[in-house]
Amino acid sequence: MSIENKTRFEVQEILKNCIEEGLKRFGYTRWSAKEFANASFQNADGIVLMNRLRSHRVGWQAHHYTIPVNSLTRVDELIDEQHWQLSVIKKRTNTTTDGDVLAEDVADNLVTWFNGVGCEWLRGRGVANLRIDADSVIVYNDNSDLYQKRAVFTVKLQVPKEVKQEQAEIAAIKPTLMPI
């Protein structure tokens, strides 16, 4: 993966692996994560869908200079904040018992994961998430033939990136005064 400039799909793969690791640690063995509106599945059950809502630069961190052979390069570091909406989908049947796992149960556990060990897991891969408010989980009822619920929350990832540009020289340039 790119250290300097992670692409959308690189970040999505990191997030997918993080979700699946969290699901595994909570004991959800038959669950998986996929991109929202992925054409490779229909009638999903026990799945977390990832949808990138938006991305924007939140600030510049620093800059430094590198001196490769016969040139000077300025490297500016910035933070790109990406908002990923996660939809947890679980079907319900007429035989649902007290011991069945609901979409909101999994969503609550994933929020716990991202607010703790999952954040550290992401940091080891070059991104990090902001804290998620547990009250931000919204549960929707699906009006399809087979009753299912969808619990939705947003993960805000901070992705460091770099911008490089060639420089003529590192010495300061004296400004020229314009005649009045």
In the predicted model, is pLDDT for residue 56 greater than 60?
Answer: yes
The confidence score (pLDDT) of residue 41 equals 63
Give mean pLDDT, residues 47-62.
Answer: 88
Q: pLDDT class for 73, splitting at 50, 70, 90?
A: confident
Q: Which fold has domain 8-167?
A: Alpha-Beta Plaits (3.30.70)
Entry field: residues in the chain: 180
For residue 1, what pLDDT is reported?
A: 43
Which tokens sit at 178? 């314009």
Beta strands in 92-147 (DSSP E): 128-129, 138-141
Q: What is the pLDDT of residues 12-31, one digit of tens each?
A: 999 999 999 999 999 998 89
pLDDT of residue 118: 94
Is the distance from CB of 74 to CB of 167 less than 8 angstroms? yes
- From CA 16, how far away is CA 108, in angstroms rounded? 17
pTM of the model: 0.80
Query: What is the C-alpha to C-alpha distance for residues 36 and 79, in angstroms, rounded to an integer?
Result: 24
Strand 47-66 relative to strand 32-35, pairing: parallel
86 falls in which pLDDT band (50, 70, 90)? Answer: very high
Q: Tell me the domain boundaries of the chain.
A: 8-167
Q: Which pair of structure tokens corresponds to residue 105? A: 């149960």
